[in-house]
Amino acid sequence: MNALDILRMAPVMPVLVVPDAGLAEDLAHTLVGAGLPVLEITLRTPQALQVLRRIRDAVPQAVVGAGTVLDGAQWDQALDHGAMFGVSPGLTPDLAASAQRRGEPFLPGVATASEAMYAAAQGLHTLKLFPAEAVGGRTLLRALHGPLPHLMFCPTGGIDSALAPQYLALPNVACVGGSWITPPAALAARDWPAIAALAAQAATLRA
Ligand code: 3PG
């Protein structure tokens, strides 16, 4: 699967900050069972790599990737721990070289036409628009589609269940990313029914 194939598997990719590796399997089973198979584990907690490994090993239906990948060394580590794709808030020459060298699906963050063109010049045509709502959201995506119709996006940042369908209606949006599916309090309380309900609702979102 390439990055676009992965993004097209579900309308929403949960962006996950998992504070405890012991949550990994139940969380992944809950989200996948509710219809969201593509999971982004952000590398923002000390346990994140362990969470990746545990989900990869225990939940074969999950398509699990690493988020907040900031440099090539982190991308190597994430791949070593089972990441099936990578997501970054931006793109640096180091990350671009690493993405090319490893060849696995990689979604760099962009916020402008120049950044999108730079990513495409590195061979990366499926992009994360970040932070989507702050940099122009749907208006920006509509404007980019004219000159850059070959680029596809996963907008992330400030999107919720009310805004998601409006993004999903755009021709250059493959899915949206968001953290609203896993409120930190629900995650800490292991409130799987609450998370399953949010995920099931997200799985039905369409334009
Ligand atoms: C992130 O990387 O933090 C994502 O953009 C999540 O954004 P959100 O919390 O606004 O959904």
Nearest to 115 by CA among 148, 142, 83: 148
Q: Cβ(156) to ligand 1 under 6 A?
A: yes
Cis-peptide into 131, omega within 30 deg: yes
Nearest to 31 by CA among 192, 206, 165: 192
Q: Cβ(158) to ligand 1 under 6 A?
A: yes
| Closest Cα to atom 5 of ligand 1 | 157
Q: Which two tokens stand for residue 194?
A: 């609450």
Q: Which residue has the tokens 């790599």?
A: 49
User: How much distance in Å is there from the Cα of 58 to the middle of ligand 1?
Assistant: 26
Structural contact between residues 37 and 61, judged by C-beta atoms closer than 8 angstroms: yes
Mutate-to-test residue for ligand 1 from 15, 135, 161, 181, highest number of ligand atoms within 8 A of CB = 15
| Closest Cα to atom 11 of ligand 1 | 178
Domain boundaries, the chain: 3-202
Q: Is 7 helix (H, G, I), strand (E, B) or coil?
A: helix
Distance CA(195)–CA(47), nearest Å, equals: 20
pLDDT in tens, the chain (207 residues): 999 999 999 999 999 999 999 999 999 999 999 999 999 999 999 999 999 999 999 999 999 999 999 999 999 999 999 999 999 999 999 999 999 999 999 999 999 999 999 999 999 999 999 999 999 999 999 999 999 999 999 999 999 999 999 999 999 999 999 999 999 999 999 999 999 999 999 999 986
The alpha-helical segments, DSSP class H, found in the chain are 3-7, 24-33, 48-58, 72-80, 93-102, 113-121, 132-135, 137-145, 164-168, 184-188, 192-203
Q: Cβ(90) to ligand 1 under 6 A?
A: no
| Closest Cα to atom 9 of ligand 1 | 179
Distance CA(155)–CA(176), nearest Å, equals: 5
Distance CA(105)–CA(186), nearest Å, equals: 30
Name the active-site residue from 25, 104, 115, 128. Answer: 128
Domain covering 3-202 assigned CATH 3.20.20.70 in the classification: yes
pTM: 0.96
